[in-house]
Amino acid sequence: MGYSVIYDGNCNLCVGLVQVLESLDRGHQFQYLPMQDEASLRDLSITAQDCEMGMILIDSENPQQRWQGSNAAEEIGRLLPAGDVFVAAYRALPGLKWGGDRVYEQVRDNRYTWFGKRDRVYQSLYPVCLSESCKP
């Protein structure tokens, strides 16, 4: 089943990163849901306040397993081919994880000012499927 990536569909940076992931993964591991889809978020027990803390990654096989913010970004990186080597090195270097967490928070809190806001919510080519009708 893979992983659900909850992203800000109005954020130019967030959408750009989702599009890069889409081109690398082609829906094999990751499916995407914009934070603006409130009905689907309710189905996943995610609130608007949860979304304020940054992107969310959910293990589709074990939905209680979730990562958020910089931890979600790291886990996505770890799941990409050869990504585990880079993420392990990043986590092992003293201070780098702490600094990365602070950078993530600054980008998260200033994303619209620094990168702009889209007119429309971006809908992924590989959307999260929550109903039985779209599952194989």
pLDDT tens digits, 26-49: 999 999 999 999 999 999 999 999
pLDDT score at 132: 59
Whole-angstrom distance, CA of residue 46 vs CA of residue 106: 22
117-128: b or e for each residue (b if 16 or more CB lie within 10 Å)?
eeeeebebebbb
Query: What are the start-end ranges of the E strands in 9-78?
Result: 30-34, 56-59, 66-68
pTM confidence score? 0.91
pLDDT score at 82: 87
Higher-pLDDT residue of 25 and 82 is 25
